[in-house]
Chains A and B, each alone.
Chain A
C-alpha cells in the first residue's frame, strides 16, 4: 500500500500538524527543520545521546530513530509542548533551575522529557528508577547528580537552598539560579545549529579517509555541472588570505584545506557548497579526488625515530616544542632520599564529547563577514578568520551562540573557516553542522601522554627530588600542544614543595587528529603519575598517605617549583585536611566490608591533591568589561565572557553587582558579540571568574566612582539603586541623582565605565623559573570504590571533593563545576579512550552515564586570593584533575594492583589483578618448595 498522501498529519504539542517532509525523514529533523521547533536537540543521530528525546504517545523515544511516517496519527510532545502535556513538567523546570541541573542546557530538553514521562507515571520514584529513566540521556556538563536531585525533589525528595533576588551587596556568595537558565529549561536557547537564515546554503567538507595520503583532484568543474544544486567547490586556491590558522600565533600551522598531502584522517581538502537537500543526498565518494595512501606515523616512537618523515618543516624530529622546569640539584636530592619510586604512566586520546556538535552560519554584510556559531573564543576566531579571508580584523564579526559544552575543543576553529569562505564568495549565508562522526574525527582531543617519573623522599617523608619526562602526542597540527608542553612542567610536582626538581616535556607530531586543549592542558595526565607515586612513597616509608602529603604541601612563603612564593591564598593544606574525617570513616568502613567478604568484591579508598594556575602561563590575557547606567536606572553589563555552561553569565554579573553596590535585578546584559562587547579573552584556563570577573569588579567599582563624582560625593557615601534612579547618601544627606537630566552617550548610557584586568605574571627563564600565574586553585578528591576482582570492573561509590575556590561566588554553580569535572575525571580514569579511525561515535567512545556517577560531596574552602574578585579563583579545570588519580589510588587500595595505563578498563584491571594472583601463587609455590 503506497503512501500516497503528500502530507502527513500527527498531533504535535496539542495541535494537529501536517508536514511535507518525506515519510522516511527522521522525526528530529522534521521537528527542527520543517516545523522550526529547535528545542529538540540532535547530538548524534544514532540513539546514543538522548538529546533528541520526545514523547510519543507519552513514551520517551529518540526522535532521531523514528521516521516521521511512523508517527502518522499519533501524538508527539516536544519540549515546547511539555509544560502543557505533562503535569510534572513545570515543577521539573523549576527544580532544574533551583538545583543547577542545567549547565550548558543542550541535554536539558531530553532530560526533562524523560523525567516528565517518569513522574507522570510514578509520582515519587526511587533514585534507581530516576536513573533508569534518564540513563539513555547523556550529559557531559553536570555529572548528573544535580539532575537526579532535581527530579527526586519534584517527586517529594529533599529540596535545596536557593537565594532569590539577593539584596544589593549580597549577590556574591548567593545561591542564585543561573540568569540564563529559563531559556535552557524551556527549549528556547539558541545553540549553534538552532538559527539558520532562510536562504542559507549548506556546506560539506571532503575529508581524507586515510591517516596520511597524497591526493589529486579530478574534474571539479564537471562535478559541479553534473550536480544541479551545488553552487561551488572550494579548495585551498579559493582562500583569499592565508590558508593557515592556529590558536597560538607563532605556531599556527593548520591549513583550512590540505594542499597535496593530508596529514590526518578527517582533514579537509575541499568544500562543497549548495542547497541543503542536495548536499544531504551527496555521496562524498562521488567527489573527484583520488587518494594515494602513505605510511602514517601513528605512535610517538615512530614519529621520533631518526628516519621518520617530517610532518612540518622547521620541526626536526617531529617535535613541535619542548617544555622545561628545573630547580635545585637532582643528584643531591636523590642522594638524600631514603626511598625512590618510579614508573612509566600512559594515557590515551580523550574526546571532549560535548553533546552539541560544532555548528553555525556565516553571512556577508557588504565588505564584512558575520559568523554566528558556538565558540569558546570569539576574538581569537575573529582574528584567524580575518587572516584566512585576508580582511582587517574589524571586518569580521563573531556572535557566539549558546555553547552546548566546550571543555577546550571549541577554542579552536572548526566550521568557521568553511562557512566564512562560502558566504564570502557566494554572497549568501552558509551553514554547517558537524555530524557526530565529523566532530569526533576532526576536532581536538586530550593529548595522549607517556610519562617517566622518579620521585624520592627522605626517612621523615619529606620529598627530596622529582624527575619527570613526558611525551605528549600532539597529532598533526600545533593547536594547544605548546600550552600542554609548558603547563605540565610547571604543574607536574603537584601542590607540594620539592627542593630538587626537573620536568621536561615534548609535544610530538604524528599523523593523527590534533590534540589540543581539554580541561587541564595535560595536568590531569601528570597528576595520574605523580599522585600514584606519592602513595607508593608513603607506603614504602610506612607513613599515612594523607600525612605524607601534608608533610610536603605548599604553604604561604614556600616556593613552588618555578620559585614563585605566595603570601596568601594557598589552600591545599585545608583541602587535604577537609578530606580527613571522611577518609577516616571510609577507611574503617572499607576494612569492615573487606573483612566480611567471601566473594570477589573488594572496596578501597584513594585520594589525590591538585593545583592549577588560573589564566595563561606567563602571557598576557586581559579581559575588558563595560558597564553602563541608563537614564531609567537600568544597568547594562557588556559581558563578553562566553558561557559554555560553566556559569559566567551569572557569576560575572554577581561580582559586578556587588562591586557597584546595586541589586542584580537591575541588570540587563549585552552578551558576547565582537561588535558589542569588549574582549574577554577565551573561556579556558579557568580564567573567566578570576580574570573577567576581576574586570567586572573593577568596572563595577569604576561606575560607582563615576556616580559618586557626578553626585559630588566621597568614597564613603552609600548608593541606593531603586525606583528607576540612584540615591546618594553621605553624612545624613540624601539626594537623588537626576539621571534623566544627564546626556546619554552613543550607547545610551548616562554614566559608564570600562575596566581591564590582566593578571600579573612574569616570564619563565630557561629553567622555567618565574611567576607563571597570579593565582593557583587547589583541591583534593577522595574516591571510595568497589572492585569486582574476578571481572576487573570498578564502581565508584562516593566522591568527596574539597576545593579552595578563594571565594565561593555562587556555591550552586561551583558544585556543578566540581561534579561535572569529577564525572569527566571518572571517565578518564575508567572508560574514556579514543582510537583514531575506530569508533568515531558515542557508542564506541564511552562517557559516563548517570549510572556511573556516585554522589559527590563538595567542600568549598575559601582561602582568598587577594588579587581575585572578592578573593575568587577559578574552578573549571581544577575540578577534573584529582579525580582520576584518586580513583586509580583507590583501585590499588582495594586490590594491590597498580594501573599505570589509563583508562582502567575492566580488562586492564583484571589483567593487573591476574598478574598479582600469578605472582602470589608463584611465591607460595616457591616458599613451599
Chain B
C-alpha cells in the first residue's frame, strides 16, 4: 500500500488509519532496504506542498520537512547557517543531496548524521504533527539514541525551526572521513562563535558527531570560551576535559582514541575558522 497525500492533514489521517513507514527523499529508506521487498503501507510525503521549502519568518527560520540538502545549499541564509550549508555540501554526493532531506536525516537518527551537529549548534527545534495536534521539541530531546527518536505513533516531522537569536554568529563545519565524497563521518564538528565589539567571545556553541550515540554539544567548552579575547585564536583553549560528554567507540572506521584526539583537533580548527573566514566568501 502506497499513499501519496498532498496535505499534512491527509498524511496525519492516513497515519492514524493505516499507519505505515514515512518516505521522504528515500535515501535512507531505500538504502537500508537491501534486496528485501517493501512490505506494509508506505506514506510518501514528498508531494505535500506545506512541507517544502525554507522560509525566513519573523523570529525563526523554518526548514520544511521536505527541504533537501541541495535546497539548503542554495538558500540565502545568514552566516550562522554556514556550518549547516557546509554539512549539506559534504553529504554523500550531488545525487544524494538532491533527494535527501534534513528532516529525514534527523528522523533516521544515525550517530553519524551530518545534519545534527550544525542544527544542535543552532539550537534547532523540531515541529511535530500528530493526531493530537502539533508540538515542538528541542532537537536534543528529539533524537534519543541510535535510530531512536521521540516521534510518537502517528506523528511526523513537519519542520525544523531555527531561532534567529544568533544568526549573525560565524559558523563552521568540519567533517573527517576515510575518503572524499560519499563517506560516513569518522568525526564531524560544528562550531559557532559570536564576538562582541571588543573581539571577545560573546557566545560559542560547539557540537560533535560520530563520537557518541547521539551527537552532542560541549557545554563546558562553550562556557570556557565565553568572554575570551579571540585575537590569539581559540584552538589552544580546547581541553580534554571539555570532551567529557563524548563516548566514542572502536569500529572499522577508526579507534575510539583516534576519534577523541581528532575531535579535539577539529574543534580547535572549526573555532578558529569561525574567526578567520569571512561569513560569505
Q: Which residues of A contact B (CB under 8 A)?
A: 1-3, 22-24, 26, 45-48, 50, 53, 56, 59-62, 64-67, 69-70, 72, 114, 117, 131-138, 280-281, 283, 435, 437, 600, 790-793, 831, 833, 835, 838-839, 843-844, 846-852, 905-907, 910-911, 914
- Cβ of A50: which chain B residues have Cβ within 8 Å of it? 93, 95
Supposing A1-B5, A838-B252, A846-B178 touch, asked if A114 and B35 sit within 8 A by C-beta, the answer is no
Sample 18 A-B pairs with CB under 8 A, ordered by A number: A46-B30, A47-B31, A47-B96, A59-B98, A61-B99, A62-B27, A66-B99, A67-B30, A133-B94, A136-B95, A280-B35, A435-B34, A435-B35, A833-B252, A846-B179, A849-B180, A850-B181, A907-B254
* Max chain A Cβ within 10 angstroms of own Cβ: one of B26, B27, B94, B265: B94
Shortest CB-to-CB span from A851 to chain B, Å, is 3
Q: Is A70's CB under 8 angstroms from B46's CB?
A: yes
| Bitwise interface map of B from 29 to 45 toward A, beta carbon under 8 Å scored 1, else 0 | 11101111110001010
> Which of A26, A138, A791 has the most CB atoms of chain B within a 10 A radius of its CB?
A791
Q: Which residues on A sit within 8 Å (CB–CB) of B27?
A: 47, 62, 65
What's the Cα separation between A578 and B68 when bound, in Å?
50
Give the segment of B142-150, B163-171, B221-229, B255-263 that binds chain A: B255-263
What 7 A-B pairs are tightest by C-beta distance, nearest first? A136-B93, A851-B180, A135-B181, A907-B258, A907-B254, A849-B181, A23-B2
Residues in chain B near residue A72, CB distance under 8 A = 4
A62 touches B96 (CB 8 A): yes
Q: Contact: A910 with B184, CB < 8 Å?
A: no
CB atoms of B42 and A24 under 8 A apart: yes
B30 touches A47 (CB 8 A): yes
| B186 close to chain A: CB less than 8 A | yes
Known A2-B1, A46-B30, A791-B265; judge A70-B180 contact (CB<8 A): no
In the assembled complex, how far is the CB of residue B220 from the closest CB belonging to chain A, in whole angstroms? Answer: 22
Q: How far is the CA of A697 from the CA of B20 in the complex (A)?
A: 65
Inter-chain contacts of B19 with A (CB < 8 A)? none
**Contacts A1-B10, A852-B180, A905-B254 known; A281 to B37 CB distance under 8 Å?**
yes
Q: Is B92 an interface residue (CB 8 A)?
A: yes
B window 236-252: CB within 8 A of A: 252
Q: B interface, how many residues as a size bin?
A: 35 or more
| Neighbour of A280 across the interface among B37, B93, B262, CB < 8 A | B37
In whole angstroms, what is the CA distance A46 to B178 when docked? 19
Nearest A residue to B264 by beta-carbon distance?
A790
Closest to A831 in B: B178
Contact for A48 among B70, B180, B182, B258, CB less than 8 A: B182
Report yes or no: A790 in contact with B265, Cβ–Cβ below 8 A.
yes
> By the criterion CB–CB under 8 Å, are A67 and B2 in contact?
yes
Specify which of A45, A138, A793 is in contact with B30 (CB 8 Å cutoff): A45
User: In the assembly, what is the distance between CA of A791 and CA of B264, in Å?
Assistant: 10
In the assembled complex, how far is the CB of residue A110 from the closest CB belonging to chain B, in whole angstroms?
9
Tell me the nearest residue of chain A to B38, going by C-beta: A24
Write the B189-221 contact mask toward A (1 if CB under 8 angstroms, else 0).
000000000000000000000000000000000
> What is the CA–CA distance of A563 and B115 in the complex, to the nearest angstrom?
62
Q: How far is the CB of B149 from chain A (nearest CB, A)?
A: 21
Docked Cα-Cα span, A531 to B135, in Å, equals: 63
**A1-B6 in contact given A62-B99, A791-B262 (Cβ < 8 Å):** yes
B236 to A: closest C-beta gap in Å: 13
Bound Cα distance from A843 to B181, whole angstroms: 11
Inter-chain contacts of B181 with A (CB < 8 A): 131, 135-136, 849-851
Residues of B close to A600: CB separation below 8 A = 265
Q: Once the chains bind, are B261 and A910 in contact (CB under 8 Å)?
A: yes
Which residue on B lies nearest to A909, using beta carbons?
Answer: B258
Please, how many angstroms separate the alpha-carbon atoms of A64 and B42 in the complex?
Answer: 17
Collect the chain B residues with CB atoms within 8 Å of residue A848's CB: 179
The one of A22, A849, A914 in contact with B182, judged by C-beta atoms closer than 8 angstroms, is: A849
Give the residues in chain B near A138, CB-CB below 8 Å.
182
Q: Is B56's beta carbon under 8 Å from chain A?
A: no
A852 lies within 8 A of B179 (CB): yes
What are the residues of chain A within 8 A of B252 when measuring CB–CB?
Answer: 833, 835, 838-839, 844
Main secondary structure of the interface of B (DSSP, over half): loop
Q: How far is the CB of A795 from chain B (nearest CB, A)?
A: 9
A70 adjacent to B261 (CB under 8 Å): no
Q: Indicate whether B8 reaches chain A with its CB closer than 8 angstroms.
A: no
Q: Which residues of B contact A67 (CB under 8 A)?
A: 2, 23, 26, 30, 42, 44
Closest to A437 in B: B34
Q: In the complex, what residues of B have CB within 8 A of residue A835's CB?
A: 252
Which residue of the partner chain, among B25, B36, B180, B262, contacts A65 with CB atoms under 8 Å?
A: B25
CA distance A840 to B10 in the complex (A): 39
Complex-state Cα separation, A67 to B179, whole angstroms = 29
**Is A66 a contact of B184 with CB atoms below 8 Å?**
no
- Kindly provide the distance from the CB of A276 to the nearest chain B CB, expressed in whole angstroms: 12
How far apart are A65's CB and chain B's nearest CB, in angstroms?
Answer: 5
From the candidates B37, B178, B182, name the one contacting A906 in the complex (CB within 8 A): B178
* CB neighbours of A907 from chain B (8 A): 186, 254-255, 258
Query: Cβ of B30: which chain A residues have Cβ within 8 Å of it?
Result: 26, 45-47, 64-67
Nearest residue, chain A, Cβ from B266? A791
Contact of B176 among A24, A60, A435, A793 (CB under 8 A): A793
Least CB distance from A884 to B in Å reads 16
**Distance to closest chain B CB from A679 (angstroms):** 36
Chain A proximity of B119: nearest CB distance (Å): 22
Name B4's contact: one of A1, A846, A911 (CB within 8 Å): A1
Closest to A137 in B: B93
| Residues from chain B with Cβ under 8 Å of A26 in the complex | 30
A839 to B176 alpha-carbon distance, docked (Å): 19
Least CB distance, B23 to chain A, in whole angstroms: 6
Looking at B5, B26, B182, the one whose CB has the most chain A CB atoms below 10 A away is B182
State the Cβ distance, B176 to closest chain A Cβ, in Å.
6
Nearest opposing residue in chain A for B24, CB measure: A70
Cross-interface CB contact of A45 among B35, B255, B257, cutoff 8 Å: B35
Answer yes or no: B183 CB below 8 A from chain A CBs. yes
Distance in angstroms between the alpha carbons of A3 and B1 in the assembled complex? 8
**Residues of chain B with a CB closer than 8 A to A24's CB:** 2, 23, 38, 42
Interface centre among A3, A46, A67, A831 (most CB of B within 10 A): A67
> How long is the Cα–Cα vector from A847 to B183 in the complex, in angstroms?
10
Task: Specify which chain B residues have a CB less than 8 angstroms from the CB of A65 in the assembled complex.
Answer: 25-27, 29-31, 95-96, 99
B70 lies within 8 A of A59 (CB) = yes
Contact present for A47 and B92 (CB under 8 Å) = yes
Enumerate chain A residues within 8 angstroms of B89, measured Cβ to Cβ.
132
- In this complex, what residue of A is CB-closest to B13? A1
Q: Are A1 and B2 in contact (CB under 8 A)?
A: no
Task: Tell me the residues in window 44-103 of chain B with beta carbons closer than 8 Å to chain A beta carbons.
Answer: 44, 46-47, 70, 89, 92-96, 98-99
Collect the chain B residues with CB atoms within 8 Å of residue A790's CB. 262, 265
Using Cβ atoms and an 8 Å threshold, which residues of chain A touch B47?
A: 70
Q: How far is the CA of A791 from the CA of B185 in the complex (A)?
A: 13
Q: Tell me how far the C-beta of A266 lies from the nearest C-beta in chain B, rounded to whole angstroms.
A: 14
Asked if B151 is at the interface (CB within 8 A of a chain A CB), the reply is: no
Contacts of B3 in A (CB 8 A): 1-3
11 extra interface residue pairs, beta carbon distance < 8 Å, beyond A2-B1, A849-B93: A1-B3, A48-B182, A62-B99, A67-B44, A70-B46, A70-B47, A136-B92, A136-B93, A136-B181, A849-B181, A914-B261
Chain B residues with Cβ under 8 A from A910's Cβ? 258, 261-262
Alpha-carbon gap, A47 to B257, bound state (A): 30
| B14 contacts chain A at the CB level, 8 A cutoff | yes
- Contact between chains at A53 and B95 (CB < 8 Å): yes
Smallest CB separation, B27 vs chain A (Å) = 5
With contacts A133-B94, A907-B255 taken as known, whether A3 is within 8 angstroms of B2 at the C-beta atoms is yes
* Cα separation A792 to B1 with both chains bound (whole Å): 49
User: Known interface pairs A793-B176, A906-B176. Does A22 touch B31 (Cβ–Cβ under 8 Å)?
Assistant: no
- In whole angstroms, how far apart are the Cα atoms of A50 and B30 in the complex? 14
Q: Give the residues in chain A near B186, CB-CB below 8 Å.
A: 906-907
- The reply to whether A66 and B265 contact each other, CB–CB distance below 8 Å, is no
Measured in the bound complex, the distance between the Cα atoms of B94 and A56 in whole Å is: 13
In the bound complex, what is the Cα–Cα distance between A114 and B34 (angstroms)? 24
Q: How distant is A513 from chain B, measured CB to nearest CB, in Å? A: 16
